Amino acid sequence: MASTLGPSWRVRLMFAFGQIPEGVQSTSFGFFLLFFYNQVLGLSGAYASAAIVIAQVLDAVIDPVVGNWSDRTRSRWGRRHPFMYASAVPFGVCFFLLFAPPQGLDQTGLFLWLVAFATLTRATQSIYSIPHTAMTAELSMDYHERTLLSALRSLFGSIGTLMVFLIGLQLYFNPTELYPNGQLNPAAYPPFAATFAAVIVVGIWISAAGTHSHIPHLPQATTQGHRFSASAVLRETGQAFSLHSFRVLVMTAVLWGMTMGMVATLSIYLGTLYFQFSLQLIGLSFPASVVGGFVGAALATPLARWVPEKKTLYMAGLAWYAVWNTGPIILSLLGIAPEPGDIRLFYLVMTANAICSMGIGVLGVMLGSMIADITDEHQERHGSRNEGIYYAAAAFAAKAVGGFGIIISGLVVDLAGIQPNATTATIDPEALRTLALAMGPGVLAMTAITVWVASRYRLTQAEHQRIRDALELREPATRAVTG
């Protein structure tokens, strides 16, 4: 009888290491991309956000295809590893070209370049990330082990984020005489992108090679006799959405994606223009947030043993984030916080961001773990292991609809009248108020709705145990194995 203790620590860590490239990509997109094309290259906020969303929606269509394809792949390297190995170089190259457009492009040219390479970067990232993330559900069938695996992924994703801030902001975007705000220097972006393109490629290969020995112990394709096809993608995506708990998780992912898309995109505007922090101070603040997320992810596993229902921790993480994230903004709007530019305001914001990020760490872990549990519900109902399609379907919905957060960001920028190369001396105070209202009360309201939706989740620990017992009676071979 196979062990139910899960993979070895070496396999766990090598699997989690693969989250560094995704942390790099998501942070670079959220923090730099709109700012680069809008403020540095001069593409309008509406065009830039529309281009990013178009890329996101096109990529969303790719996710279920990759998920279904990897679910059905039969090779000597298993279902997931061929995709992981093959995606590394294309992912890195597309990421670099996205931040190194040819000089002299007009608005149309910039728009088309952004659409093309944002799409290609996201698509190649999906070819890696969907199979990689699906392994969360494959490495162990244990309820708490999956939370640990998801927590380790989040921890290493935080390392990728921290690398972007520490290396990116501190090494490549230093102020110069021509560009006192180093992030407005167009020459800084290609070397920044080249560095992290290399991190992406090497990170993927290390994770793939580090988990390669575990391939014989991973579930193999159970859809024998059924070739990959568009109809299979649609059918199995439909099966996924037929489960109530999965629909609830997808809706929360959509709402959360909208909120975080807006927060990530507008945070640089908020920090430099509304709070009037220098780029160097922002460079210190964001790593503090990453550390907060790291701590939250680390606490998720022990908290999950103390609070057995994953839904409860998921909702708590959302609420914790919303209150602490918006607190300094709301206090500032009420005239209670220190004045913009005051170092005391910086310490207040940095502390609140670090604390609120603990909530992000917890809820990110729980989301991955809850999807892994739902794949067992699918197996009980349909008799097959389709981890890829579940992680892909969740990503599809979040990307297809969550892009509205980026659209909202572009609209806030344009409607507020925030012009390219805006400074604290030139920007309209009313524009700053509009920005603060969106990032304070607006984010609080959007998160409250997300918490209410998450409360509808039904797959309890007791129900999951019933499902696992039923599956083990039906197929003892579905037990997890030791790596």
pTM above 0.85, yes or no: no
Q: For the chain, which domains are there?
A: 9-220+227-475 (1.20.1250.20)
Q: What is the pLDDT of residue 229?
A: 63
Are residues 68 and 229 in contact, defined by beta-carbon separation less than 8 angstroms? no
What pLDDT sits at residue 184?
82
* Tens digit of each residue's pLDDT (9 = 90 or more) over 226-237: 555 667 667 777
Contact in structure between 377 and 396 (CB atoms under 8 Å): no
Q: Which residues of the chain have pLDDT under 70?
A: 1-6, 143, 221-230, 232-233, 279-280, 283, 385, 393-407, 416, 419-423, 475-483
Alpha carbons 89 and 198: distance in angstroms, whole number: 9
Phi/psi at 58 (5° precision): -60, -40
pLDDT for 13 equals: 92
Q: What is the pLDDT of residue 394?
A: 66
pLDDT attached to residue 95: 96
pLDDT in tens, 268-291: 788 888 888 876 677 677 778 778
Cβ atoms of 359 and 216 within 8 Å: the answer is: no
Half-sphere exposure of 113 (CA within 13 A, CB side): 21
pLDDT of res. 134: 83
Residue given tokens 């909120």 in the structure block: 259
The answer to whether the beta carbons of residues 405 and 257 sit under 8 Å apart is yes
CA distance 246 to 268: 33
